[in-house]
Structure 1
Amino acid sequence: MESAAYRVIEDIQYYNKLGGMKKELYNTSMRVFTMKEISARQNNAVMAYKVRGSRMTKYYT
């Protein structure tokens, strides 16, 4: 009987730990997604600036 109770306690602890890990995985995934979005926008802005800059140098040289 004691081993069954111990097993139930272990299962509950494992379930809680797994739930915490799933939450952390979700939070980390959202952070990665956000950083990719920010980086993509910055990259687009830099590329647009480079295109404008190269066009300007063509007109003034």
Structure 2
Amino acid sequence: KKKKKKKRKKEKKKKNERKKKNNKNENEKKKKKIDFLKIFKLSINFLFVLYFLKKTFK
């Protein structure tokens, strides 16, 4: 019985480790996605401003 308990504890630990790893990976992916969106939005704003300036100073 004791052995079984120990085994279960080990399995639980492994499962938790895996969960943590997965969460980390998910967070990394999310971060990259957000960064990409930010850059994209900034570049569009920048282009818009340039276009606007060009129009006003003609």
TM over 0.5: yes
Q: Which residue of 2 aligns with 1:19?
A: 17
State the distance in 2 between where 1:55 and 1:27 align: 42
C-alpha displacement at 1:20, in angstroms? Answer: 0.3
2:4 matched to 1:30? no
Equivalent AA in structure 2 for residue 10 of structure 1: R
TM-score by length of 1: 0.84
Q: Which one has the largest radius of gyration?
A: 1
- Moved beyond 6 Å, runs of 4+: none
TM-score by length of 2: 0.88
For residue 9 of structure 1, give the secondary structure of its aligned residue in structure 2. helix
Identity of aligned residues (%): 9
Q: 1:39 aligns with which of 34, 37, 42?
A: 37
For residue 41 of structure 2, give the secondary structure of its aligned residue in structure 1. helix
